[in-house]
Amino acid sequence: MDSRIDKIFNPSSIAIIGASERQETVGYAVLNNLLTMGFEGEVYPINPKRDTILGHKAFPTLSSVNQKIDLAVIATPAQTVPDLIRECGKLGIQSAIIITSGFAEIGEDGAKLQAEIEQLRIEYKMRIIGPNCLGVINPWIGLNASFAGKMPSPGKVGFISQSGALCTSILDWAISNNVGFSNFVSIGSMMDIEFADLIDYFNDDEKTESIILYVESIKKPEEFIKAARRFTSRRPIFAIKSGRFEEGSKAAASHTGALAGSDDVYDAALEKAGIIRVKRVKDLINVAQSLSMQDIPQGNRLCILTNAGGPGVIATDAVIERGGRLATLTDKTMESLNQALPSFWSHGNPVDVLGDARAERYEKAIDICIQDENTDALMIIFTPQAMSEPVQTSRAVSRIAKRYKKPIFTSWMGAEYVEEGVKMLLKYGIPSYQTPEQAIDAFSFMYKYLQLNDNLKKGEAEGEVTAIKVSAETIKTYKDLIESIKKEGKRDFLNEVETKSLMEEYKIPTTKTKLATTEAEAAQIAESIGYPVVLKIQSPQILHKTDAGGVMLSLKNAEQVQEAFRKIVQNAKEYNSEASIEGVTVQKMVRLSGGVELLIGLKKDPVWGPAIVFGSGGVNVELLQDTAISLLPINKFFASHLIEKTKVFKLLQGYRGQEGANLDYLRDILVNFAQLVIDFPEIAEIDINPLLIKGNEAIALDARIIV
């Protein structure tokens, strides 16, 4: 654990630079919070214009304190901050929070100030949260070093956010819903301390049993994944990532680039880190409530208990839709319920205790169901009826919850009639949601963490990648080719012949392809490789050949080949009159009747680096939008996981009597493809589309490499 970061969350003494008695200022809010919310350490207000502030002695400068200071909280104008950081460094203060805004986020002048602070931070070996942040809260020691006006209760959830406004909103909600936090952090512009640092710190904090994140950007992607995975191997992290719909992929030259946007790669990165991503703030809030009050369910089998049939059906639909299962109740449970409930109860899961159920009937049914060995969690729905007892039923739930570790989720549906019952549930640490769907969402996010962590552990246990090893001499040959293409400057890609030649070195099966510059040469090549053949235009300016009418299939003799050659060249010139026509490629026409067309591609993300894209291929690839993404490296286990995430996986297994594909062979192709990408960082994008596969046969019919 970094002691400098620990001093931010567990300081014995704090200096508030910019402390003020003016209630409209940040300096007032931070000082008032530290003095009134339970912090027992020393607090030193720093303000050269005041002798006392809020009844405490004030100091003109840091150096005038003449006492050891663990943490400096800075809330003064931006231009004053560099000198203050320098003073902190000289006094041996190595931990600081810069709440002040007006740095890199405002433009060039602010960026210069921030760069100056960063140089001083490095010189004096300081750790800094901010600038432009709300501050930090540690409820366990009454520390509120922020300008948020409330203190949550101590709990077991760590919260890290790039948005201060979201922090205050969630804080307000948390207090009203009895949700506790271990630490609450607004990290602002992340000049120094960022997500990876804090996740590592929380990993060493025994009070933090889970983390929720609000993410706008990641500055140190590799460190983030490693830190998150260290945490998620034992405890869950849930995150919301804003900015999902970036438009950067629109200019991509390949199918892969068009299909895989930056947000898709973020999905893959968070998955590799073991983090469950949620898409809505409401989801983050719902899961935070469950994490603060419940243990993680050990599976996805849910027992639903309700006093109304309709909400039970709604909950059932939500469970199935989100990948959960209704628990199959044991014979022992069914027999006990038959004895405890009226004869016309539902006799199955959902367990309908009927509309006239009072608290006693609820309690008997809950006690029976929670003990069922086939049940991983219990979902209790209460709807207001004339004879129902919301508060008494809540007390009954709380009594049972104390006796068992199994998670309980509740939905007391309604408003005023159930309000006191909901308050009772929250008081006793039982999460309650307005609708059954919200409760099911929280349940499903929690068990998905278990599924993801289990998959990652299996993949990690398999060990290193077992890809083909290509000789250093061969790699150098193709690197030299790429370099010569870049120097020449006439194209930014390998042509089809070059591309397929490179892929063959990595045991990626391709069609033998030769380039013809005349129709006679095309006919001669076709005669030598045997009919039928395929002809394709080759031009640096035409990447999507089909769009230009630059592909002719199933040519069966020399006359057809020569005619196709002329037609392809004519189509290409009409498509792009300025295109440079290098010739036409000739290759054997491959027929795999009933084969499946796949896409394998490379996406280079500016944050996360290279990612593999796999899914349905062919001419309708953009229409189908059936792809999955994985960051590198991958071994066979992760290759399998990539395949299984797609809809085309069902076809690959064999569908309606059709022969399936050799999935071991496909996994080898994916692993070798990944090795090609690793060996050639010069490559920007790769498309194999389609890779045709059936049984033990596979062939890359078309491919392109962009450098």
Predicted confidence band at 202 (pLDDT cuts at 50, 70, 90)? very high
CB neighbour list of residue 614: distance below 8 Å, 6 or more residues apart: 598, 599, 600, 601, 627, 628, 629, 630, 642, 643, 646, 670
Q: Is the pLDDT of residue 479 over 70?
A: yes
The Cα 384–Cα 346 span in angstroms is 19
Mean pLDDT (the chain) is: 91
Closest by CA to 392, choosing from 367, 418, 421, is 421
Residue 259's pLDDT is what?
Answer: 46
Nearby residues of 120 by Cβ (< 8 Å), 6 or more positions away: 82, 85, 86, 89, 126
> How large is the angle between the packed helices 472-488 and 496-505, nearest 10 degrees?
160
What are 322-353's pLDDT values in tens digits? 999 999 999 999 999 999 999 999 999 999 99
pLDDT tens for each residue of 501-550: 999 999 999 988 889 999 999 999 999 989 999 999 998 888 778 889 99
Strand partners of residue 188? none
- Residue 161, classed as helix, strand or coil, is strand
pLDDT at position 681 over 50: yes
**Range with the poorest average pLDDT among 188-197, 207-216, 245-254:** 245-254
Phi-psi bin for 583: left (phi > 0), alpha (psi -120 to 50), beta?
left
Average pLDDT of the residues in 251-261: 43
Average pLDDT on 563-589 reads 92
Q: Which pLDDT score, from 0 to 100, does residue 413 have?
A: 95
Kindly indicate the confidence band of residue 256, based on its pLDDT and cuts at 50, 70 and 90.
Answer: very low
Instruction: Grade residue 245 by pLDDT with cuts at 50, 70 and 90.
Output: low
Q: Compute the distance between CA of residue 499 and CA of residue 478 in angstroms, rounded to an integer.
A: 10
Closest among 397, 426, 406, 340 to 155, alpha carbons compared: 426
Strands 533-538 and 583-588: antiparallel
DSSP conformational letter for 437 = H
pLDDT band for position 255 (cuts 50, 70, 90): very low
Q: Which of 30-34, 193-197, 578-582 has the lowest mean pLDDT?
A: 578-582
Question: pLDDT tens digits for 578-598?
Answer: 888 989 999 988 776 778 999
How far from the centroid of its chain's Cα atoms is residue 551's Cα?
A: 40
3-class SS at 327? coil
Which of 111-115, 139-143, 150-154, 499-503 has the highest average model confidence (pLDDT)? Answer: 139-143
**pLDDT tens digits for range 401-423:** 999 989 999 999 998 999 999 99
Rounded to an integer, the average pLDDT of 220-227 is 95
| pLDDT on residue 625 | 83
> Which domains can be identified in the chain, with CATH numbers?
3-290 (3.40.50.261), 295-457 (3.40.50.261), 472-588 (3.30.1490.20), 596-706 (3.30.470.20)
Residues 611-637: pLDDT tens digits? 999 999 887 777 778 899 999 989 999
Check residue 254 and give its pLDDT: 43
Lowest-confidence region among 13-27, 219-233, 251-265? 251-265
Locus of tokens 């589309």: 689
Strands 301-306 and 377-382: parallel
Q: What is the pLDDT of residue 619?
A: 75
Residue 253's pLDDT band (cuts 50, 70, 90): very low
Token pair, residue 159, equals 């919260």
